Amino acid sequence: MDIGHILGELTLNRGYFPREAVEEAIRRRDEITPHLLDAVRNATQHTQGVKEDETPFLPLYAMFLLAQFRDRRAYPLVIELCRRPREILDILLGDMITEALPEILASVFDGDAAPIKTVIEDPSVDEFVRGSALRSLSILVHEGSLVRSDVIAYFGELFHGKLEKEYSHVWDVLGSESADLHAVSLARDIHCAYEDGLLLPGYMQPEEVDAAFAVPEAEALARSKKRSRGLIADVVKEMHRWACFRPRSMSGQRRGDPSDVPDVQHDPASATRTEPKVGRNAPCPCGSGKKYKKCCGARKTES
């Protein structure tokens, strides 16, 4: 299979997972990488007018593969992609904005957290992207790429002025990631944010924060690291069970094979989170019956 054939297989969703093309891309890493970088670069510049039923899959495959390759050249490109308008990101990434973007950012991280911080602090960036950028910092702590105390100090700066004092999803993530990193020094800030309406109790209850901080630090961090999905290590494992790939028999598995029953099915357009937190497509905890992203999660946008 030549490079052109591989890229052709990865360009669109053809209804099945192109396992052979993905595995060949991994085997031919050096040859395919410039094309993958171009795919992400082009996605930051030339996706205006793309229709949802014509979703280009190549940038998505490219980001996953570059993440597995730990290619730091992708880092500024993914950061730039994060700044695209919500409607473009929904077409390109769908719910991978929350499902995989934190892991992708952490996987291509080049050692400089400043670009991630600019995304987190920019109110013009989609709120779910900002939340994913913030979550990537916790992953980098668990992976040993960032110092926990430094990240907690930065979280404190967010509480104390680096985030606009207006609700958006990034506040919910800030509260939950502070709890996951056992940032006891921020307990008062978290409770004040609840009092100011900056944190949604439906996303994480104040009692959950107190319970998290009551656990011994070492135990809490061990639990948090275990929950963390970590870096992208195996694109085939990450992607082949997505619900958007049908029929499964075309990805090299027998229909009805018990081994083909996934724990979680992912679809860039309709995935839901596996974590016990409110995802963009999960029912809103306020009880409206709407999806979170169309209800409380959209409060900032609608205002």
Q: How confident is the model at residue 53 (pLDDT cuts 50, 70, 90)?
A: low
Cα gap 14→148, rounded to integer Å: 43
Chain-centre distance for alpha carbon 112: 19
Write the pLDDT tens digit of every residue in 124-181.
999 999 999 999 999 999 999 999 999 999 999 999 999 999 999 999 999 999 999 9
Q: Name beta bridge partners: 291.
A: 283
Pick the more confident residue, 279 or 188.
Answer: 188
Give the closest residue to 106 by CA, choosing from 96, 114, 121, 116.
Answer: 116
Cα gap 284→299, rounded to integer Å: 12
Dihedral pair phi/psi, residue 95, rounded to 5°? -80, 5
Cα gap 91→60, rounded to integer Å: 11
Kindly tell me if the per-residue pLDDT of 287 is higher than 90: no
Cα gap 54→138, rounded to integer Å: 34
Cβ partners under 8 Å of residue 247, min gap 6: 15, 16, 255
Give the closest residue to 133 by CA, choosing from 164, 90, 177, 91.
Answer: 177
What is residue 240's predicted lDDT score, i.e. its pLDDT? 81
Q: Whole-structure pTM over 0.85, yes or no?
A: no
What is residue 141's predicted lDDT score, i.e. its pLDDT? 97
Q: How confident is the model at residue 260 (pLDDT cuts 50, 70, 90)?
A: very low
Pick the more confident residue, 297 or 239.
Answer: 239
Kindly tell me if the per-residue pLDDT of 46 is higher than 70: no
Cα gap 153→159, rounded to integer Å: 10
